[in-house]
Amino acid sequence: MSTPALREEKSAAPEKSNQNPANLSQLLESYGSLSPYIGADHAFYEHHLLYDRVIDPAVASAREQFEAFSRSIRDILAQRWVSTKKTYEQQNAKRVYYLSLEFLIGRSLANNVSNLLLDPAVQQAAEAKGLDWLGLIEQEPDAGLGNGGLGRLAACFLDSMAMMQIPATGYGLRYEYGMFRQTIANGWQQENPDNWLRDGDPWEVARHHEKVEVKLNCSFQLRAGNIETVRDRPSTLIGIPFDRPVVGYGGKTINTLRLWTAAAPDYFDFKEFGTGDFVGALSDTLEAESLTRVLYPDDSTTAGQGLRFLQEYFLVACSLADIIRRFKRYNTDWEKLPEKVAIQLNDTHPSMAVAELLRLLLDDAHLGWDQAWELTKKTLAYTNHTLLPEALEKWPVAWFDVLIPRHLEIIYEINRRLLDEVRVRFPGDNGRVERVSLVEEGERRKIRMANLAIVGSHSTNGVAAVHSRLLRTTTVKDLAEVFPDRFNNKTNGVTPRRWLLQANPALGQEITQAIGKEWVTDLSRLKELRRFAEDGGFREAFLASKRQAKQRFADWLQSTTGQIIDPGTLFDCHVKRIHEYKRQLLNALRIIVVYNRLRSNPELDVVPRTFIFAGKAAPAYRLAKLIIKFLNNLGATIDADPVVKGRLKVLFVPEYNVSLAERLIPASDVSNQISTAGYEASGTSNMKFMMNGALTVGTRDGATIEMAEEAGEENLFLFGLTVEQVVNSRSWYSPYWHYDHDAETREALDLIFSDHFSPDEPGIFAPLRETLLTMGDHYMHLADLKSYCEAHHQVGILYADPEAWAKKAILNVASSGKFSSDRTIAEYASDIWKVEPCPVI
Ligand SMILES: *Cc1c(COP(=O)(O)O)cnc(C)c1O
């Protein structure tokens, strides 16, 4: 293969010239000459083994093969990466900066190869070389720099912005340890460190010369093993950027994800020795290095820890210093800042950007308050991700005071002006003044970070229609009434490249055969599949692709864990963070109801099901960890019961991450999206499942509502209380009513309480009784159990008719176009950022 074999990809190259390569040979020229990299001699692959690693290519380990291969791919994109950067500079293009404490990117090799349209060529090259391509891909650790949906959204957005040729940079932290690796021991979750950078990472490029300084008004010292702050003794942290390529589909644009690592300043303060304060000097280094050591493994509650506060400020300070430095290189007029820079705050985590940007404009640029304030608001925009009160960040005033007192001063001044305005506009409304204030009064005064983000930006968006409405009408109602024009909705999306094209090649090929390949960059085209729902041949092809994905998953599971599951059964999946509001317990109760029915009537005709759970619990969230234990015990009990053998199987697959989601979602028949209505802001796995032809059993919550609007309610299995019903029944809801009046509910609960699932550990599930009964069942599991069981009964009936099943599933795929993150990004670009594509020249 002297020229890369990109055969099929010619027709695959998307047509729209403004977004996509007009012509593949042009594209390849722009990569530089490819043949030395992946041609017959694979010179560069071997070059990397020999000269980077100094080993004989013939004896390279799989890990070394992966590194060398990834480096070769990075070589291919390097030139394009540089020209992307150069184009943005030459055009002085308006840029988007996406600030996020989390980027759940997963693996990069296969994604980059696919987005560069090098799929067949690279695979063939690897195989010609005698390399095991699939095994090689498995060598890459997941970059798990996030907890769940919020971090994955940031990663999908980067993919979409690069595909759409939007000048965008992601800013985050380069955690040395990502999300913990989950193992299960005796049914319990164990957390293991995820040292993903141990062997280095072939994608990142360290940019030491672009380091920035972050100044704090305190120092740190070790005392009796604890790190203490010393106020009014300023210290400096260094932020070193590490860049990762973000390959846009088609390879025209290579954007950058810039992750910061904390370090101590190069200089060593010898004065410290002179004064005998040796520990003081040393602990600067200790603290600096530990700052970006670890991701906080909690997706929805504020950990309330000073280190997290410092991480947030460090990300903001490094990123804004970098952004302003770049702005100043190409612009002289500060008024132009909002015309050149759009900064999106992914949740409140980076919302100190309000005070930091204002500080830079006031103290460094010496602008007056009014101008600095207007520029700050016009530059920043904020995305809210949750209505859970415990997840709305509030940081102690005392921490600002010790670490960044100037920011506190600025926040107080913002607040003074805000409250003055509110008093004028809403005379006598003291309650409102108290509620909109940036400061929560009390014994320990706190700064309300969501209020700061809303007041200091021009846009606040929720992530699904219902969520945006609730945000506006309940959570921050008072502020929304003060600034009604700032509030808007941007329903989340996921990238169809990773979640359909790459994750589900069998279905992807069937779709392309039916309607062409344009869907990859314009997912709305999937609606053309609607008519294929009536086509028997296509239905058969759809079912075959599903069988293939299920078999693939079953094979993977057996080869990695030894567990055997039957791809002939219905795969009934519930995968996401373990949290009470996501109601894995409701699903468990439903399974027990079916189990009880079979125990009392073994002849009962039910569709054989494999229930697949996966997800991590925050290490400090005891009930969530108990739920994992319960799911494992439920599985073990059911496995051991001959009555249900071959008909029910419950599986908890450990270590849920992006790669597991990519394997499991295509193999799913049913997607459970069963949060208590009003609690799931959007959800994104619901969208991934829909795209992959699973049918949704769900509550009317988050984006699931919009999925039903797109597909028609008759093509989903919706059940349960609505948002309004949940709110209106709060005051009188009693789980005991359901326990007393519904026999199946009572029998399911009694079976748990009787230690049927914990014969060797009596009483361990007592906390489940507390949460579901004694403490009032806050998430209303029992209220929804009956209708949930009924919905799944209907699922079983439909599954027995494969033609009817396939028809519904195809209609779901055909209706999933809205849920591409390309659509979401197009909305952010036109409504919030006012940014245009900037094609690379
Ligand atoms: C998509 C995704 C999520 C988000 O899932 P939800 O069910 O929407 O909460 C979390 N984790 C991973 C690994 C994902 O891929």
Give the separation between CA 555 and CA 540, rounded to whole angstroms. 22
pLDDT of residue 283: 55
pLDDT tens for residues 480-489?
999 999 999 9
Please give the structure tokens belonging to residue 1: 């293969």
**Residue ID of nearest Cα to ligand 1 atom 1:** 685
Helix residue ranges per DSSP H, 95-219: 109-115, 119-128, 133-137, 149-163
536-561 helix and 802-814 helix, angle to the nearest 10 degrees: 90
Q: Which of 50, 69, 182, 59 is nearest to 125 (CA)?
A: 69
- Please report the atom of ligand 1 found closest to the CA of residue 682: 8
**In the annotation, is 577 catalytic?**
yes
**In the annotation, is 688 catalytic?**
yes
Residue 270 φ then ψ, to 5°:
-65, -20
Cβ of 583 less than 6 Å from ligand 1: no
Strand order in the sheet with 446-448: 394-396, 446-448, 439-440
> 206, 226 in Cβ contact below 8 A?
no
Residue 509's CB is within 10 A of a number of other CB atoms, namely 15
Distance (Å) from CA 738 to ligand 1 centroid? 31
DSSP strands (E only) in 335-464: 341-346, 380-383, 394-396, 439-440, 446-448, 460-462
- For the chain, what is the largest distance between any 2 Cα atoms, rounded to a whole number of angstroms? 86
Report helix, strand or coil for 476: coil
pLDDT of residue 9: 33
Residue with tokens 């859970």: 388
**In the annotation, is 256 catalytic?**
no
CA dihedral (160, 165, 169, 175) positive or negative: positive
Cβ of 576 less than 6 Å from ligand 1: yes
- Per the residue annotation, which of 684, 696, 745, 824 is the catalytic one? 684
Query: Ligand 1 pocket test: which of 685, 688, 707, 820 has the largest number of ligand atoms within 8 Å of its C-beta?
Result: 685
- Per the residue annotation, which of 576, 616, 786, 808 is the catalytic one? 576
For residue 10, what are the CA distances in angstroms to 2, 22, 27, 28, 250? 17, 10, 11, 12, 11
Answer CATH for 569-820 from 3.30.360.10, 3.40.50.2000, 3.40.50.2300, 3.40.30.10:
3.40.50.2000
Q: Which of 251, 73, 29, 260 is nearest to 162 (CA)?
A: 251
Cβ of 683 less than 6 Å from ligand 1: yes
Please give the structure tokens belonging to residue 443: 């014994």
Cβ of 703 less than 6 Å from ligand 1: no
pLDDT tens for residues 331-378?
999 999 999 999 999 999 999 999 999 999 999 999 999 999 999 999
Give DSSP secondary structure letters for 339-366. HHEEEEEESSTTTTHHHHHHHIIIIIS-
pLDDT of residue 34: 44
For residue 722, what are the CA distances in angstroms to 223, 438, 729, 788, 789? 54, 32, 11, 13, 17
**First-last CA distance in the chain:** 28
- Percentage of the chain modeled with pLDDT above 70: 91
**In the annotation, is 445 catalytic?**
no
pLDDT of residue 230: 86
Q: Considering the chain, what is the average pLDDT of its residues? A: 92
- Per the residue annotation, which of 385, 786, 792, 823 is the catalytic one? 385
**Residue ID of nearest Cα to ligand 1 atom 10:** 148
**In the annotation, is 576 catalytic?**
yes
Give the separation between CA 625 and CA 630, rounded to whole angstroms. 9
- Please report the atom of ligand 1 found closest to the CA of residue 104: 13
**In the annotation, is 546 catalytic?**
no
pLDDT of residue 274: 39
Q: pLDDT below 50 — which residues of the chain? A: 1-42, 268-279, 281-282
Per-residue HEC secondary structure of 609-647 comes to EEEEEECCCCCCCHHHHHHHHHHHHHHHHHHCCHHHCCC
